[in-house]
Amino acid sequence: MKKQLFNLLVVLVLTSLALSACGGSGSSATGMKTEVGDGEGEVSIISWAGYIERGETDPAYDWVTEFEAQTGCMVTNKVAATSDEMVTLMNEGGFDLVTASGDASNRLIAGGKVQPINIDLIPSWSTVDDRLKDAPWHTVDGVHYGVPYQWGPNVLMYNTDVFPEAPTSWDVTFEEMTLPDGQSNAGRIQAYDGPIYIADAALYLKYHNPELGIENPYDLTEEQFSAVVDLLTSQRALINRYWHDAFVQMDDFKNEGVVASGSWPFQVNFMEGVNVSSVIPVEGATGWADSTMMHVDAPHPNCAYKWLEWSLNPKLQGDLASWFGSVPSVPAACSGNELLTDEGCAVNGFDNFDKIWFWRTPTAECSTGDGGCVPYSKWVEAYVGIISGGQ
């Protein structure tokens, strides 16, 4: 009942906001656009690094130039390093779209910062992976607030010269130990610079400390949360850096002696100057399923809808999956793409969907609606204290 009431309030608030933002020509009584008109000449997107490419890094990877030529909508891109940064930028306004992960998308929906998406205006919606169409990180009571973009796991990246055999556990990042090269892991590992990383530690304890009773790493009681915070506090002595910039992390592996860390397939793909590989350890992994969401006051809604449709074309989806090491939200992209190859989706984890604990925003109601969980605000407070040494 609590969850139903919460969802109802979210829909009511968002409907009210959308009416004020999108009323008038081309909008329905619910605030959704009912038609896509001529483009306004530009569209501004907040994205993760590597998500919006126009061939500047590598000419083979360009899914912006043709869109601009076909629509006349010039793309500007603001790269954000964390979900919290994305939420902050969307709160400030002035952007059209954001490629939000689950730990940001639910906050943006509840906060009234994104508008409902009329999927009838997106012809390629039918091609989206059925596992993603109604995913809870962009859907509330059947109303869609985002279009699936890409998904994947948070992998354990490791230096293969230090680890001749792949590590089997996340313990190399959580527990002090001597690594295969005979040296300690202290000062040679990293952790993600975001409160959502608490879920990674919770997943580790779920496996190794079953007596805690952790069932979902995003639904933590006070007792479970305290145990997770204790683990992360002890981990701090091992940390070289709390990373949030993918390129800085790659440099740290190359020049600062870092040998193991949670990471994204993007870094594994583009690491230079050091031999690395990645693995999903025995405890499993958290992950991200990103949706492109539209600001409630998007200044260029027609161009935004044109991009939402464009974002689902199989060529873009396959090229991006090859570039980032992610999985397309459109299964048709998994075959016939020269860059991804027909094996690329399997390599990137297409069949691991049910094994990944996708990021979402922790709430006091818990994902079940039963209540008694530690909300995200306390995750933020605790993690700031951990990385600053205040715990």
Residue ranges and CATH numbers for the domains of the chain are 2-151+289-352 (3.40.190.10), 155-263+361-387 (3.40.190.10)
| 322 has pLDDT over 80 | yes
**Which tokens hold the place of 257?**
């002696």
pLDDT band at 288 (very low <50, low <70, confident <90, very high): very high
Instruction: Output the pLDDT for position 269.
Output: 87
H helices of 284-334, where?
301-310, 314-324
What's the rounded mean pLDDT across residues 321-342? 96
Q: What is the DSSP letter of 329?
A: S
Give the three-state DSSP class for 115. coil
For the chain, percent of residues with pLDDT exceeding 90: 87
| 377 has pLDDT over 90 | yes
H helices of the chain, where?
2-22, 65-71, 83-92, 102-110, 130-133, 171-174, 198-208, 222-235, 246-255, 265-270, 301-310, 314-324, 344-348, 376-387
pLDDT band at 24 (very low <50, low <70, confident <90, very high): very low
The whole-chain average pLDDT of the chain stands at: 91
What's the rounded mean pLDDT across residues 135-160? 96
Instruction: Output the pLDDT for position 30.
Output: 59
In whole angstroms, what is the distance from residue 330 CA to residue 203 CA?
A: 28
| 12 has pLDDT over 90 | no
| 107 has pLDDT over 70 | yes
Give the position of tokens 């130039």.
Answer: 65
> Which of 1-15, 128-142, 212-226, 255-269 comes out lowest in average pLDDT?
1-15
Instruction: Check: CB of residue 23 under 8 Å from CB of residue 390.
Output: no
CA-wise closest residue to 195 among 135, 157, 242, 152: 242
